[in-house]
Amino acid sequence: MFKKGDFVNKRYEVVRKTGSGGTSSVYLVADRHIGRSLAMKVMDKRSMGAFRFARSEIEMLRRVRFPLFPQIIDAFCDDHHIYILSEFVKGESLAKLSAGHAMSRHRSLALLARICEALVYLHEMSTPMLYLDLKPENVIISPDGLPHLIDFGIAQLLFTKHIPVGTRGYSPPEQYDPDIMPDVRADIFALGMTYWSMRSGIPPDPDLTKALNDIRHSRSLSSSERAFILKCCDPSRDRRYGTSREVLKKIQHIRSIPDRFKKNIALCAALTGTVLSAAFITKNIVTEIRERTEVTNLLSEATKHMEDGEYTPEGIGLIRACIDSGNLSHECEQEFMFEVARNLMLIRGDYKTAAIYFSKLDEGVYPEAADYLSLCRLESRPDHDGTEAMKTVGRIFADISGRSPSKMKYENMIFIARCFEMYDPDRVTGAKKSLSVLAMEMEELDELSESCEVFSEDEIDAMRDRLKDLMDVGRKRINTRSKMIGENDENEDK
């Protein structure tokens, strides 16, 4: 339609075409009057509904005054086209940045929080607005790392006309039902699927059943992330989060957890804050409140028993007392059981007790628990199946290696390295696999050393020293076993 160097309205010089859709094309233009770059959307006046679409988008952009949405600068038409000029957001689309590889948990949550802030703004305007087409392609990440939402005017207009809008995979079922009026929970669904795309590196399956199954069995998500996405994207909108502000609080809560237990401590503390009418206070209720208060005190006391970010045996004992009290919510109890089991397995080496806790977990929420349970049982069986053990270790490695740096991940990787060496039928091959896992963790520590909020410099140095010692021992084992194999081969030849 336009080529580089063309002038529009004697003011806007076309630099290049940046995109196109079914009803419009977008160009980067230079405003020669004020010397700035702008985005110019061009719509064919002959297209059905062009004026309605243009008015809708202009009205939306005019009403929205939020930093993460581009501001409208100018709008006009000529004999053939309608033009809308708005701020040009420099950067790459979220789709391009996350295509083919998973973004880190830390960065994904940071971006998601800002995107959710934009939704809160739209949903809480005096006349609430819905975005209705949230997806990575419509999010531009500027050089300063901020997400900017683009292109939502047409979706708004079609929505008001009861015409289905959105993108398969990212939009909820009700958005395609002309008899149902979408509400803020449609944007919440899309937000959850957008986060899944960021963390997995792939778009959600258009088949919702398959998409949810992928999320439930993802090895790249933590249990809290998995539960969050599944609630955002529940097929029934009545079971999703009710408001975007509620979602934002949940995101902020997940981001603020320096260790995995603080969320549950907060949940248990909330239980003790139950407000009861004096007229209905009975002896049983008073007893229950007292018991729950004691649970909260136990949890607070447990945090005093930590070394290097992990609970000591005394701390684990206090956490287990909370579980045994029967006064925790099901979600809270399940997460405590999962973390206690992993601590017992990875830090304490108490595989028998860890297996008991792993066996009580809901595999729909903690699918990795089955693999950990298998390894715990293998530890007590000298006649284990090496091939099956290696498959289990491989699945756990795929899960752990993609996670964000943490003390637990560090311990997991060392545990996995030991398992490779122990269970591989070929002892030399197993030792080499073990060494590779340790080397991978060493590389991650080297990358963290320059700027890390997870560990202090002393902690990184201590972990490096431990890995170095383990790798030195591993290399000696490989040399020793290789020599033994060579000597045996020579004896057989003789």
pLDDT on residue 367:
67
Torsion of CA 106, 103, 242, 361, to 10 degrees: -80
Contact (Cβ atoms closer than 8 angstroms) between residue 198 and residue 112: yes
Spans of all domains in the chain: 7-87, 92-255, 285-379, 384-494
Tens digits of pLDDT across the chain (494 residues): 788 999 998 899 999 998 776 667 889 999 998 888 998 988 877 664 555 666 666 666 677 777 888 887 888 888 888 888 888 888 899 999 988 888 888 889 989 999 999 999 889 988 888 888 899 998 999 888 889 998 765 445 445 554 556 788 999 999 888 788 889 999 999 999 999 999 999 999 999 999 999 998 887 787 778 889 999 999 999 999 999 999 998 887 777 544 444 444 444 544 444 433 343 334 444 444 444 555 566 666 665 665 544 567 777 787 788 788 777 777 777 877 887 887 787 777 788 888 899 899 887 767 667 778 877 877 666 555 667 777 777 877 776 776 667 776 777 788 888 888 877 777 788 888 889 989 988 888 877 765 555 567 777 888 888 899 889 888 888 888 777 666 555 555 44
Token pair 């509904």 is at which residue?
Answer: 49
Q: 45, 43, 32, 7: which is closest to 151 by C-alpha?
A: 43
Please provide the CATH number assigned to the domain covering 7-87: 3.30.200.20
Q: Cα–Cα distance between 26 and 12 in angstroms, integer?
A: 13
Query: How confident is the model at residue 271, as a pLDDT?
Result: 44
Q: Which residues fall within 8 angstroms of residue 472, CB to CB, at 6 or more apart?
A: none
**pLDDT tens per residue, range 215-251:** 988 877 877 788 899 999 999 999 999 999 999 988 8
Question: Model's pTM, two decimal places?
Answer: 0.52
The Cα–Cα gap between 254 and 357 comes to 24
CB-neighbour burial class of residue 304 (10 A; exposed 0-12, middle 13-18, buried 19+):
exposed
Third-level CATH fold of 92-255:
Transferase(Phosphotransferase); domain 1 (1.10.510)
Residue 274: half-sphere exposure toward Cβ, Cα within 13 Å: 17
Work out the burial of residue 133: count CB atoms within 10 Å of its CB; fewer than 13 is exposed, 13-18 middle, 19 or more buried: buried
Return the pLDDT at 261.
45
- CB-based contact 437:416 (threshold 8 Å): yes
pLDDT at residue number 466: 87
Residues in Cβ contact with 258 at an 8 Å cutoff, skipping those fewer than 6 apart: none
Q: How far apart are CA 176 and CA 244, in angstroms?
A: 21
Write out the chain in H/E/C secondary structure.
CCCCCCEECCCEEEEEEEEECCCEEEEEEEECCCCEEEEEEEEECCCCCHHHHHHHHHHHHHHCCCCCCCCEEEEEECCCEEEEEEECCCCEEHHHHHCCCCCCHHHHHHHHHHHHHHHHHHHCCCCCCCCCCCCHHHEEECCCCCEEECCCHHHHHHHHCCCCCCCCCCCCHHHHCCCCCCCHHHHHHHHHHHHHHHHHCCCCCCCHHHHHHHHHCCCCCCHHHHHHHHHHCCCCHHHCCCCHHHHHHHHHHHHCCCCCCHHHHHHHHHHHCCCCCHHHCCHHHHHHHHHHHHHHHHHHHHCCCEECCEECHHHHHHHHHHHHHCCCCHHHHHHHHHHHHHHHHHHHCCHHHHHHHHCCCCCCCCCHHHHHHHHHHHHCCCCCCHHHHHHHHHHHHHHHHCCCCCHHHHHHHHHHHHHHHHHCCCHHHHHHHHHHHHHHHHHHHHHHCCCCCCCCHHHHHHHHHHHHHHHHHHHHHHHHHHHHHHHHHHHHHC
Q: Read off the amino acid at residue 5.
A: G
CB proximity list for 479: less than 8 A, separation 6 or greater = none
Confirm if 197 and 98 have CB atoms less than 8 A apart: yes
Would you tell me how many other CB atoms lie within 10 Å of the CB of residue 352? 12
Phi, psi (deg, nearest 5) at residue 343: -65, -45
